[in-house]
Structure 1
Amino acid sequence: MTPPLDMSRRQFLTAASVTAAAALLAGCAPGTVPGSNTTTLQFWHLLSGGDGVTMSQLLDTANSAQSAYRIRPTVLAWGTPYYTKLAMAGAGGRAPDVAIMHATRTVGWAPGGLLDRWDTDRLAELGIDSSTFPKPIWEKGFVGKDMYSIALDAHPFVAMFNTDICDAAGVLDSDGRLAETSSPEEFLDQLRTIGGKAEGHALSYGYLGDGAQMWRLFYTFYSQHGGAMELPEGGKAVIDKDAAVESLTLMRTLLDGEIALAQADYGSAVAEFATGKSGMLFTGVWELRTMQNAKIPFDATMIPTLYGTPAVYADSHSFVLPHQTNADEKKRDLTYRFVADMLKGSFGWAEAGHIPAFLPVTESPEYADLVPQANYAEAAQHVVYDPTAWFTGSGSNFQSEFGAAVQGVLLSGDDPAAAIDRFEARVNTLLRQPNPADPEGTFAS
């Protein structure tokens, strides 16, 4: 995460110097396993729960498959604690050899020198290039002309559906897939039909106090209108207000108390679907294990394209090179090899629900047999990320600001147009503020 929005440049640099000292001590640890030619690589990530277990398994596989390197992982708390510590380590130039970041966060870091660039030629030598990634995912790794992140996956917002309930409602096609709908009216009719066969609601969707949840669904619908939200540094937000209001209005319509519970938090929505009481759930692919463990009959698909353009909100867990003042070239070479090994061995990451970014994995016969993952794999071709700005991205204050501006629309029927105006005003305030990681504005120039 970029430093908190209320952190001044002086505070940021002071914190950086303190953390850099700690990082310097950590950096003095031996880089080679005693008695061998194996080099230890420090790897930071923020994955916990089921994702953390899966990542540990992937790392064990990578470590045991060769003897050139050994990964030593450090797991830190998701969100602000992780990004703040990683930013401080990068500012000190003695960061870990490699780390996981959300792809949406790199634009706030790269211009301030907190990340080192990836050499695309070196990656190509290892079989990693634009031909092995979906176009939107590969392109998201770049800030300007330089690559700063390499996606391990895409984790989109999807629709999970209870196959028994939907079959009873007659909304499945001959292949057992959810029948296609192409307009808000068709989708609402489908949901009402599903609701007639569900013990609870047709749709489970939790949003209370959760700006990220509100933003994920809103930006999916907004992007399906065919345009992107633009946040030019030092300028004013470019928002299609008609599309924004229409998207927010549809969200409110879904929360009518019959299609979906009018007031629900994320945990309640997941629980309703996991106990077989609802017909559909809007959630991230990270809940796949939850539903498998619940042993309910379910499948998953992209959220229907209701406004003409296939689009689904997503982010990517991506590999980055936190800045090191004097990078060890041997360790850097091995870091490239490690990342290539992880991408090529990411089938296990697919089993956890995420869509591997490396196309040879998702285009393999083994992946085609992976259900329901293969049924939403196409989402990788249609992912939309947060609008590009230093203050956006997963776990950012931007998503919280959105939630604060629009929750009243969903909760108590406030005016959608006024809510979008509030959001736009707050974003314009943020756009006038300099990136704390780049106070001199080098990126803008």
Structure 2
Amino acid sequence: MASHHLARPRTAAAGPPTSPGPGITRRQMLLGSLAAVGGVAAASSLAGCSPATASAAGVNELAYWHLLSGGDGINMAGLVEDVNAMDHGYQATQTVLAWGAPYYTKLAMASVGGRSPDVAIMHASRVAGYAPGGLLDPWDLDLLAEFGVQESDFLERVWAKGGLEGEQFSIALDSHPFVMMYNLDVAEQAGALGPDGQLAPIESPEQFLEVARAMQAVTGKHGLSYGYLGDGAQMWRLFYTFYKQHDAEFDLSGPRAEVDQDAAVASLEFIQQLLDGTIATQSGDYGTAVSEFMSGESGLFFTGVWELPTAINSGLRFDAQPIPTLFGTPAAYADSHAFTLPHQSSPDPEQRRASYEFVADLLKNSFGWAEAGHIPAFQPVVQSPDYQNLIPQAHYAPAAEILNYDPEAWFTGSGSDFQNYFLETVQGVYLNGSDPADGFNAFVRRVNVQLDKPNPV
């Protein structure tokens, strides 16, 4: 049987904010607390010198904004501390802002008002709404290559997501897809493991239902944990995974959404089959699903890679993989945290050069980000022997090769209202067994209302 030992990340958790675990430094605890607080929190790096002494020493002081809270925030603080300690002529100071709309609003206002940070994290799915309005500066790929980072270091679709009209507006740090975790003990008792000790291939909707029911017979509660109640993002992640597995397009480039209704209805009907009270509860929220799987009350779990530290800390024997291809085309919903250059009217050349080196250093040293669950975008890290020995990360890493970002429009992407529109119009399909065609058509109508509006930024 394959080994399922997992390297323990530096973070206590990579998903929603949690209490810092044992072994976390006072500095990490402070930064994690700052990151979890709404509004703005500035966190000076404690590696080396303060910004004041950095300036006196002729070091480029870099302002770095991001929206990473909880365990992700602690982990990012550690990565910044590590690269600052490399003494490459910069000292990055983090500013952590509240996730979602508050972050993106403040980032836009900073760009318009001439108070932009040197570097900022954005979700790759949000770049299309910001770059056309002049809020982001394009990357100089020749300069980036001087620091050892180039297009060939990234998967094609991950790199392409940062491009717009021939220019590159973001450089991905990671991809964080929707994946499937599974309880090894439950899977073994259900007869679902293959000879390699991993889940045997599942290749059709009928086979998935059969495996999930076999696992429910073992747990006595549910075969699958999937929480969505009141959570449009969770609803959309699963729907869009199945929708894209039908090789269906969701095109928002014109005045009206171009969609495949048959694929949408088939995807929603299958989700209704899953939410039958036996395979999965019909009315579970995200927290309930996490708790259920971590306590051994289900065998399968649809979740994001950000829950890896939670699973590790639970002590569960588990593994993970891309969600099985049930409808013909390998596909997974995902987004990426990506580095951007918020617009500056007259950027200082040396400051910009230091910003490029800072980003390159973070990319090259993103193994710690991988330990916490995210799939590094910088492929030399993924292809390293150390990463290949990380289980289950190496088992679900192929999800990055089949990822699908949100349909491209100014109002889509993580932290936008797009997924809330899906919640408002389609939750009844999940919860009450409402007609899938009616729910999906209502969603498309809501999307078309947005397409009639101009991009506010």
Q: Distance in 1 between matches of 2:89 and 2:398?
A: 36
Give 2:189's aligned residue.
Answer: 168
Question: Does 2:352 correspond to 1:339?
Answer: no
Whether 1:321 aligns to 2:344 is no
Residues 75-118 of structure 1, C-alpha deviations (whole Å, 9 max, x = no match) = 11111111111111011122100010000001000111111111
Q: Partner letter of residue 118 of structure 2?
A: D
- In structure 1, the residue matched to 2:75 is 54
Q: How far is 1:37 from its partner?
A: 2.0
Deviations 1:33-72 (A, max 9, x none): 2431211100001111111111011011000012400110
* Amino acid of the structure 2 residue aligned with 1:160: M
Q: 1:96 aligns to what? A: 117
2:161 is the alignment partner of 1:140:
yes
Percent pairwise identity: 57
- Aligned residue for 2:382? 362
2:118/2:355 contact within 8 Å kept: yes
Partner of 2:99: 78
Q: Is the Cα contact below 8 Å between 1:31 and 1:41 reproduced in 2?
A: no
Equivalent in 406, 409, 416 of residue 426 of structure 2? 406
Question: Do the aligned residues in 1 keep the contact of 2:177 with 2:399 (CA within 8 Å)?
Answer: yes
Task: Name the aligned partner's letter for residue 304 of structure 2.
Answer: G
1:271-282 correspondence runs (5 A)? 271-282=291-302
Taking the aligned partners of 1:186 and 1:265, their CA distance within structure 2 comes to 25
- Aligned amino acid, residue 314 of structure 1: A
**Pair 1:112 & 2:133 matched:** yes
**What is residue 296 of structure 1 aligned with on the other side?**
316
CA distance in 2: counterparts of 1:430 and 1:373, whole angstroms: 38
1:174 CA displacement: 1.1
Paired residues, number:
409
Give 1:31 deviation, angstroms. Answer: 8.3
* Matched residue, 1:66: 87
SS of structure 2 residue aligned to 1:33: helix
Q: Residues 277-307 of structure 1: CA distance to partner in whole angstroms, max 9, x if unpaired?
A: 1101101000001111111111110000011
In the alignment, the residues of structure 1 paired with residue 58 and residue 118 of structure 2 have an alpha-carbon distance, to the nearest angstrom, of 18
How far residue 395 of structure 1 moved from its aligned partner, in angstroms, is 1.2
Alpha-carbon contact 2:51-2:91 (below 8 Å) kept: no
Question: Which AA in structure 1 matches 2:68?
Answer: L
| Pairwise CA distance, 1:214 | 0.3
1:212 matches 2:233: yes
Match of 1:87 among 98, 108, 116: 108
Residue 193 of structure 1, CA deviation: 1.0
Q: d(CA) in 2 for partners of 1:412 and 1:425?
A: 21
Distance in 1, Cα, partners of 2:382 & 2:53: 35
SS at match of 2:414: coil
What is the CA-CA distance between 1:338 and the residue it aligns to? 0.7
CA distance in 1, matches of 2:203, 2:297: 26
Which residue number corresponds to residue 193 of structure 1? Answer: 214
2:304 to 284, 290, 295: 284
SS at match of 2:259: coil
CA contact (8 A) 2:173 2:378 kept: yes
Cα separation, 1, equivalents of 2:372 and 2:175: 12
Structure 2 residue 289 is the aligned partner of structure 1 residue 269:
yes
Once residues 345 and 224 of structure 1 are traced to their aligned partners in structure 2, the CA distance between those partners, rounded to angstroms, is 33
CA distance in 1, matches of 2:397, 2:114: 38
User: How far apart in 2 are the matches of 1:404 and 1:383?
Assistant: 25
User: Which of 218, 231, 251 is residue 230 of structure 1 equivalent to?
Assistant: 251
Q: Deviations over 1:289-337 (max 9, x none)?
A: 1111111111110000011111100000000011112211111001111
Offset, 1:342 = 0.5
Q: Say which of 435, 444, 452 aligns to 1:415.
A: 435
Q: Which residue of 2 aligns with 1:390?
A: 410
Counterpart secondary structure, 1:43: strand
2:242 match: 221
Q: Does 1:378 align with 2:394?
A: no
Q: Within 2, Cα distance between the matches of 1:313 and 1:42?
A: 31
TM-score normalized by structure 1? 0.90
Distance, in Å, in 1 between the alignment partners of 2:260 and 2:52 is 52
Asked whether the equivalents of residues 108 and 435 of structure 1 are also in contact (C-alpha less than 8 Å), the reply is: yes
Partners of 1:137 and 1:111 lie apart in 2 by 19
Q: Distance in 2 between matches of 1:127 and 1:212?
A: 35
- Any conservation in 2 of the 1:32–1:39 contact (CA below 8 Å)? no
Matched AA of 1:120:
L
| Counterpart AA for 1:80 | A
| Structure 2 residue 274 is matched with structure 1 residue 254 | yes
Query: Matched residue of 1:161: which SS?
Result: strand
Q: Alpha-carbon deviation of 1:126?
A: 2.1
Among 331, 335, 347, the residue aligned to 1:311: 331
**Structure 1 residue ranges without an equivalent (≥5):** 1-21, 23-28, 438-445
Residue 434 (str. 1) matches residue 454 (str. 2): yes
SS of equivalent residue, structure 1 residue 291? helix
Which position in structure 2 is the counterpart of 1:244?
Answer: 264
